[in-house]
Chains A and B, each alone.
Chain A
Amino acid sequence: MSDVQFCLLLAALLFSIGVFGLLTRRNAIGILLSIELMANAVNINLVAFSRVHGGAAGQVFALFAIALTVAEVSIGLALVILMARQRRTIDIGEARDLHG
C-alpha cells in the first residue's frame, strides 16, 4: 500500500468518526467540532490526490476549503453565542421555533 492509499483510508475512517459525532452530539459546539473532523478528512483526500496528480490544483482547492471552513466556523460559533445569550442553552433540541 502506498502512502497515498494509506492517507485515503485514514481520511475515510476520520470521516465516519465525524459522522458518528454529528449524529450523537446534542450541543451545537459538539456538532460544529464533528463537522470540522469531516472537513479535515475531505482536505486530506484533496492533498493525497494532488500528490498523485502532480499539479498544484489539489493543494489550491484544499487551501480554499480550509479558508471556507474557517468562515463557516466563525459564523457557526457566532450563532452559538447568540443562542446562549437568548435562550440560556446551546442544546439544539431546544431550538425548535420553526417546528410546525
Chain B
Amino acid sequence: MSTLEIAGLCFLALFVLGGALGTVLSRNLVHSVLWLALVLVATAGLYARLCAGFLAGAQVLLYAGGVITLAIFAVMLSSRMQGGPILHESVRRGRGALAALAVGALLVGVLLSTDFVIPRDLPVVDAADLGRSFLGEYVLPFEVLSVLLVVAMIGALTIARKEDP
C-alpha cells in the first residue's frame, strides 16, 4: 500500500472510532445520534475503499438517511411526550469498560494471530453482479426480505399509533 492509501484509511478509521466514542459517551441524546451519523458515513467511505461502491451508496441512503432520520424523530417525539429532556447518562462505566475490553482483546488477539491469505487481483464485484445474485441465486431470500420490510413497517405504524379515538 502506498503512503497515501494508508493515510486515507487512517483518516477514515479516526472518524469511525471517534464517532463511535462520541456516540457512547455523549451526554446529549441528539449529539449521540449525530455522532452515529458520522460513523455511518465514514463506514460508507470504508466500503468504497473495499471496492464495494454500491454498498457505500446503500449505506448512505438507508442508514445515514433512513435510520438517522427515524432516530431523530423518535428523540423529538419521546422527549415531547415525556415532558422534559431525556436523561442520557451512562451508568456502571467501569464494568462496561471491562466487558468491552474483554471482547475487544479477544477479537483483536484472534485477528493478530491469524494468517490471512490475501489474494491479489481479484475481480471487483460491481452493482451488475450484485443484481444478478439478487435475482438469481438469492432470489428467495430477497423476496422474503421485502415481505419482512413491509411487515416491519406496518408493525411499527401499528405499535406507535395513538389509541383509537
Chain B 97-131 interface 0/1 with A at a Cβ cutoff of 8 Å (1 = within):
10111011001100100001111001101000110
User: Which of chain A's residues have a CB closer than 8 A to the CB of B111?
Assistant: 5, 8-9, 12
Q: Is B59 within 8 A of A23, CB to CB?
A: no
Bound CA span A69–B92, Å: 27
Q: Which of B16-46 contact A (CB under 8 A)?
A: 16-17, 20-21, 23-24, 29, 32-33, 36, 39-40, 43, 46
Q: Is the interface of A mostly helix, strand, loop or mixed?
A: helix
Select which of B32, B92, B132 is within 8 A of A24 by beta carbon. Answer: B92
Chain A 24-40 interface 0/1 with B at a Cβ cutoff of 8 Å (1 = within):
11110110111011001
With an 8 Å Cβ cutoff, the count of chain B residues facing the other chain is 86
In the complex, residue of chain A having the shortest beta-carbon distance to the beta carbon of B79: A84
Known: A2-B1, A29-B75, A60-B134. A66 touches B62 (CB 8 A): yes
Bound CA span A81–B158, Å: 12
Q: Is B130 within 8 A of A63, CB to CB?
A: yes
Q: Is the interface of B mostly helix, strand, loop or mixed?
A: helix
Q: Which of A40-56 contact B (CB under 8 A)?
A: 40, 43-44, 47-48, 50-52, 54-56
Bound CA span A5–B110, Å: 12
Q: Is A12 within 8 A of B104, CB to CB?
A: yes
Known: A10-B13, A33-B33, A64-B145. A16 touches B100 (CB 8 A): yes
User: Which of chain A's residues have a CB closer than 8 A to the CB of B118?
Assistant: 2, 4-5, 52
Q: Is B152 within 8 A of A10, CB to CB?
A: no
Chain A: minimal CB distance from B122 (Å): 4
With contacts A30-B32, A75-B152, A84-B82 known, what are 16 further pairs, Cβ within 8 A? A7-B49, A10-B17, A12-B104, A20-B24, A24-B24, A27-B87, A32-B71, A33-B33, A47-B47, A62-B52, A73-B67, A77-B73, A79-B159, A81-B159, A82-B159, A88-B81
A-B contact pairs, 13 of them (CB 8 A): A5-B111, A12-B108, A12-B111, A29-B75, A30-B32, A40-B63, A47-B50, A62-B55, A70-B149, A74-B70, A75-B159, A81-B77, A88-B83
Chain B residues close to A by CB (< 8 Å): 1, 5, 9, 13, 16-17, 20-21, 23-24, 29, 32-33, 36, 39-40, 43, 46-47, 49-52, 54-55, 58-59, 62-63, 66-67, 70-71, 73-75, 77-79, 81-83, 86-93, 95-97, 99-101, 103-104, 107-108, 111, 116-119, 122-123, 125, 129-130, 132-134, 138, 141, 145, 148-149, 152-153, 155-157, 159-160, 162
